[in-house]
Amino acid sequence: MSDFQPARNHETLGDAFFDRVAPAAFPQTILRHRDQRWAARIGLDGLSDADWLAHFGRFEPLPGSLPQPLALRYHGHQFRSYNPDLGDGRGFLFAQARDLADGRLLDMGTKGSGKTPWSRGGDGRLTLKGGVREVLASEMLEALGVYTSKSLSLVETGEQLYRGDEPSPTRSSVLVRLSHSHIRIGTFQRLAYLDDTAGLRQLLDYAIAHYYPALDGVADPAAAFLAAVTTRVARLGAQWIAAGFVHGVLNTDNINITGESFDYGPWRFIERYDPAFTAAYFDETGLYSFGRQPDALAWNLTRLAECLVPLSSIDALEPALNQIWPVFQDELPRQMLRRLALVPHGDARDGEFVTALFGFLTTSQAPYEQMLFDWRGGVASVERAARSPSAGFYASEAFRPIADALEGYQSADDNNLGHAYFARQRPRSMLIDEVEAIWAPIAADDDWSGFAAALADIAEMRQAHGLG
């Protein structure tokens, strides 16, 4: 660990922001996944499996980082009902470190690491299936260009768990998530709920110092911070749409201040363009459906703005908050054209093209990911698209306006169409049936070959997309 650069920054906020807790003592620690690429980014790729399990299964402190895990305190709106009894109920902040590539602060947060003062009667555990799903979600999203947390480690823990939404008893696990911050909108909401203006100021100063240092010294830090967070969250919403991803639970405690997607429970990818598609069976009104995700993000950002009023003014915060729609409207065409490896025109034509594209996808119900795969590079992929399983959709009269618009776009230099991935007939996808097919042999026979094959497939896709 000679390259590891530990940090303890979150401790400086003080005990009012977290509870020092102990990890659960698990009967087993079996390593199921370690992300070596990101381990290298923090100088931990040289750990032996035994040392890895000591730190990420038994949570022995990493040298120089936090001496004891911190269960973070926060509140939040859950399906728009305020809940003041949240907080890290089955996770904690285990360690912090510096990214060796860019020097940014990274958190190592857990999921399934045992009970805390915020467990609310829960067992503080994570099912192994839930852990597998989180790894698959974060790996897919990274490969599709979404700013996401990384699943650094998954360890099976040898306990039998009982859950109402899957066959029980079921196997258990603990996940370590790597992300740039675990400070959420709900962290600010808790302080506003408590009328703790001094705490709000302290949290804002910390957030600017560690995540938005360019804002240091601005005249109205609260308004500048809101504008910066709004920009990042709007970009994230556009990235989700471009990836065909439905998070499923966009509560305010699931939106962090770095605009980084995290905490994957009932997520789904869409098979065909459907704004009403929901990921969570309990989302009966479609509040967090695919097409309503930008609205959900805007609603959540409004809650953040309300928290910051004591540190600024409504007149200053309102224009910062209102940036969300112009940013989203600019970002959505940019993200869709990035998926297609096309050079944007940089004017209204980009938005018009994407609107037409979504119109075609709606009426034709052509497979979403297949279409983006087939037409990467635009007209440079005419022959590829003609060999696609979806070629019939492209031969239709309804596709002609899309084909004409593609003629006007230049293929990006980094389209990477010579990569072996683009010689395939079908792209790597992660629809619910595919997730279940990966899980079934694990559950039945402890056969992890499908999981390993899926991760290898995703890695090839990430490289083909030029994302490392």
Nearest to 103 by CA among 208, 14, 213, 204: 213
- Taking CA atoms, 99 is separated from 92, 228, 271, in Å, by 20, 21, 35
- Taking CA atoms, 409 is separated from 153, 233, 349, 375, 380, in Å, by 41, 28, 10, 12, 10
| Catalytic choice (35, 253, 263, 283) | 253
Between the two ends of the chain, the Cα-to-Cα distance in Å is 23
Distance from CA of residue 293 to its chain's centroid?
Answer: 13
The four Cα atoms 278, 283, 287, 290 give a dihedral, to 10 degrees, of -10
Q: Is 367 exposed, middle or buried (0-12, 13-18, 19+ CB in 10 A)?
A: buried
Nearest to 61 by CA among 4, 16, 100: 4
Report helix, strand or coil for 165: coil
Token pair belonging to 144: 């599709």
Q: Which helix (H) or strand (E) holds 150?
A: strand 150-161
Rounded to whole angstroms, the Cα distance separating 205 from 222 reads 9
CB 200 within 8 A of CB 311: yes
Token pair belonging to 348: 């209204």
Active site residue 196: no
Distance from CA of residue 117 to its chain's centroid?
Answer: 26
- The residues carrying an active-site annotation are 253
